[in-house]
Structure 1
């Protein structure tokens, strides 16, 4: 009889599969031990499935069927009394109390699943009847969650992704206080009806992470919720709208000492409010145009003594202003990401950022000397991501510089191929020579290599001989890890 892995080992393995719902679901079918461990991880955030429409349809039916089977008797009777007859996945009692495993609730995804179920299983022609039935159905589902989840960790509520979400007063359901009091993460739209925010404001004062997608309306309830938080550490703001955020940003002043991570995406959010967050450790700004940084000049003289991570995913502020910012705040930076090119900025990194460990920046094909300067000055550098092809660096020249100039801690390289010309990609002989030279380095540090393919799917792995060389050095242990990824601007 084959020996089974211990439960704690299986748990660690299944934790790595949390985002792969298909594989994780298949683990349920192996044996009872696998099922008991995998089911808790699967249902922790069961709403996080990202597959084709056919798969989503099947999963939606499966989830709602399981939830119906878990409803208490009085809820089922109430639904039947109101003419709501939805076929459950099974008529038998469920093997587990699935709702109790949930640590993440997504209100809009639950709404979508219920909407889909009613449209496919109910013969309802009257819109009012449909809305009323959905209200009753949603109420019983959320009542069950509030009663069964001992301590919810994350709550998602995006209004634009649902069809007329009903105003369900979840805080008044039995068990809601235990369920919501220790909520640590909230992801929401700014225009969710105010009563929702007022409700959770009564219980949730220790939310650590909030993501807000700004719509045309910013709920007063959201502003109150923000102002009541005692330990807000992570904040992500997404806005495509002009103005209207002043009242909101003023509500953040109470979090001026606790906030350590701030991400702002898209446009039209004034940046001057950032100056109050003296304990920021990570700042990420993602704007398409340099004009969006019109008030960044206010920040150039502000000291953020704890700032370690600074990222500009697309456009960057005016160069002289950004360089001044680095002069004041670059000393403690360990990670810097810039999605635009400027040689003087790269030289400023070499001058003002000696502690950098992770760097993403752009070099033109004639700027190898600037790369050498960074490698020589930034002696703690461990990881660099660089574009190759077109007007940017040649990959062969890049690898030669890394062999001869990279500091002793360096061990991770990412190459973004932007060229559509296959001839610009390193030849097998040249690649082999790089690894041989790397092997002879004094540090004997193995290297991890990530290839980001261009829009045509071209990278050095397109050459079979290159892959044979990579496999050879992986077996030797010289390559610790080799990965290929699709081109993605938003990786951060």
Structure 2
């Protein structure tokens, strides 16, 4: 009876919870749309909250958006060779009103693929792309959408010109961004051209609670951007999290400005791919280390310019600082880090944060057998009692080492376990019996993904694992990138 009420829509709260559970499973959401009208009304807003970020085979959703244009704007498109007949005559929902996340780069990408699919002449591509970009924002702004996330990525002069036109529209109706909670800046090539927009953000968007910096080049332009943003930082009264993701701007001058801020600098994420000045980094962690929840590093981009001994020493000092100042880490991502003698400190760090650690990823870049053996013999016994996610990407050369790891970690329940066996003579068929014995039969995981350098698990194994309520999944689909984790959680 209760089940029939759910599917009929008579228990809206429960129905909403069910649909929300699948909010990132777009295939299932499309199936939910077909259940009945009640389920459709709940599901459609989820499918349309960020359509430019959803992998699709075609981009017909842009045509549905453009249906909302007035006749004057449709005529502009018609002049550019876009026939109005491709737009739907009517729609069931006001789809533009559902959008919550906008990424300027992904919108441009989607437009480019759509105009290619409908056969726009090559010499008209730039003009049409610019026009549609502006018209889409005009539609969103006029629909008074409840925008929650605004991500700006500008890589070309044309991108800057397009963004300036959008800024003019926003100035006319600033409510469009006044309620954003998440603000992301990435790869801005000409910072001076968006300084006015940053000033505007600081005055109109006091609701911002999360800021994400992602700049992969150190230059005067990016340095200026961070300085400018720090100068208006004090005006953002609701800022709860700051995320620095592979950002190479943390020089002494920038960190000193952060230290001098009167407000707390709530650094929640720090992912590094470049060696920083350890003294400066310690100052940053002294101020913000107690807020840090997500941390990761790997092979630094400037390794080749530094002697191996110095690299080793700097990485050990980095781990020491994290152990000393950061006790609340929930996600630890160790990527392509192949220096054996830092692993005792890595193990110390894992033990130090085991009360908070829920996501752990360790990925080796090459086929270092000693490194893999070191990990298998020492990691299992120090894992927390419960993990949401464990990813191990290495080589399994000695099957006895792998069995020791499984035995030592027998007290740990792992919701999602991913094992990627890199270049090795050991195949899935060699390690699967041990996984069945120590993982499957003890029901220690909910989701399992296994992959080697040649193939994944045989699909005939799926039924065996399902008998123990364990779902076998594709490794790449279950893998969590740190950037996407931050995007989803904040």
Judge same fold: TM > 0.5, yes or no: yes
Partner of 2:143: 148
Which is greater in Rg? 1
Partner of 1:197: 198
Q: Is the CA contact (8 Å cut-off) linking 1:454 and 1:486 kept in structure 2?
A: no
Cα-to-partner distance string for 1:373-409 (whole Å, 9 max, x where unaligned): 6555666464754456455x52x54335543x44745
Equivalent of 1:281 in 283, 292, 309: 292
Q: Is the CA contact (8 Å cut-off) linking 1:414 and 1:450 kept in structure 2?
A: yes
Give the C-alpha shift of residue 182 in structure 1.
Answer: 1.7
C-alpha distance 151-182 of structure 1, shift in aligned 2 (>3 A)? same
Distance (whole Å) between structure 2 residues aligned to residue 121 and residue 335 of structure 1: 44
Q: What SS class does the counterpart of residue 453 from structure 1 fall into?
A: strand
Give the C-alpha shift of residue 123 in structure 1.
Answer: 7.0
Give the C-alpha shift of residue 102 in structure 1.
Answer: 0.6
Q: Is the CA contact (8 Å cut-off) linking 2:137 and 2:166 kept in structure 1?
A: no
Equivalent of 2:244 in 207, 220, 236: 236
Q: How does 1:304-343 map to 2 (within 5 A)?
A: 318=314, 320-322=316-318, 324-325=320-321, 328-329=324-325, 336-339=332-335, 340-341=337-338
User: Structure 1: 5+ residue runs without aligned partners?
Assistant: 296-314, 440-444
Q: How does 1:63-462 map to 2 (within 5 A)?
A: 63-73=61-71, 75-76=73-74, 79=76, 86-87=83-84, 89-90=86-87, 92-115=89-112, 135-160=130-155, 164=159, 165-166=161-162, 167-170=164-167, 172-173=169-170, 176-187=173-184, 188-191=186-189, 193-194=193-194, 195-207=196-208, 208-214=210-216, 217-218=221-222, 220=224, 223-229=227-233, 230=236, 231=239, 233-238=241-246, 252-253=258-259, 254=261, 257-267=264-274, 272-273=280-281, 274-275=284-285, 276-289=287-300, 291=302, 318=314, 320-322=316-318, 324-325=320-321, 328-329=324-325, 336-339=332-335, 340-341=337-338, 344-349=341-346, 353-356=351-354, 357-358=357-358, 359-361=360-362, 375-376=380-381, 380=385, 382=387, 385-387=391-393, 389-391=395-397, 394=399, 396-403=400-407, 405-406=408-409, 408-411=411-414, 413-422=417-426, 425-426=429-430, 430=434, 433-434=437-438, 439=442, 446-448=444-446, 450-458=448-456, 461-462=457-458
C-alpha distance 95-175 of structure 1, shift in aligned 2 (>3 A)? farther
User: Structure 2: 5+ residue runs without aligned partners?
Assistant: 483-490
Give the C-alpha shift of residue 44 in structure 1.
Answer: 0.4
Q: Is the CA contact (8 Å cut-off) linking 1:103 and 1:151 kept in structure 2?
A: yes
Give the C-alpha shift of residue 168 in structure 1.
Answer: 0.9
- Size of the aligned set, in residue pairs, is 444
C-alpha distance 435-416 of structure 1, shift in aligned 2 (>3 A)? closer
Q: What SS class does the counterpart of residue 200 from structure 1 fall into?
A: helix
TM-score (norm 1): 0.70
Give the C-alpha shift of residue 17 in structure 1.
Answer: 4.2
Give the C-alpha shift of residue 153 in structure 1.
Answer: 0.7
Q: Is the CA contact (8 Å cut-off) linking 2:149 and 2:183 kept in structure 1?
A: yes
Distance (whole Å) between structure 1 residues aligned to residue 90 and residue 463 of structure 2: 54
Distance (whole Å) between structure 2 residues aligned to residue 434 and residue 244 of structure 1: 44
Q: Is the CA contact (8 Å cut-off) linking 2:49 and 2:99 kept in structure 1?
A: yes
TM-score (norm 2): 0.71
Q: Is the CA contact (8 Å cut-off) linking 2:316 and 2:345 kept in structure 1?
A: no
Q: Is the CA contact (8 Å cut-off) linking 2:340 and 2:371 kept in structure 1?
A: no
C-alpha distance 378-147 of structure 1, shift in aligned 2 (>3 A)? same
Q: What SS class does the counterpart of residue 269 from structure 2 fall into?
A: strand
Tell me the C-alpha RMSD between the 2 structures.
Answer: 4.6
Distance (whole Å) between structure 2 residues aligned to residue 369 and residue 85 of structure 1: 62
The structure richer in helix per residue is 2
C-alpha distance 108-364 of structure 1, shift in aligned 2 (>3 A)? closer
Q: Is the CA contact (8 Å cut-off) linking 2:295 and 2:332 kept in structure 1?
A: no
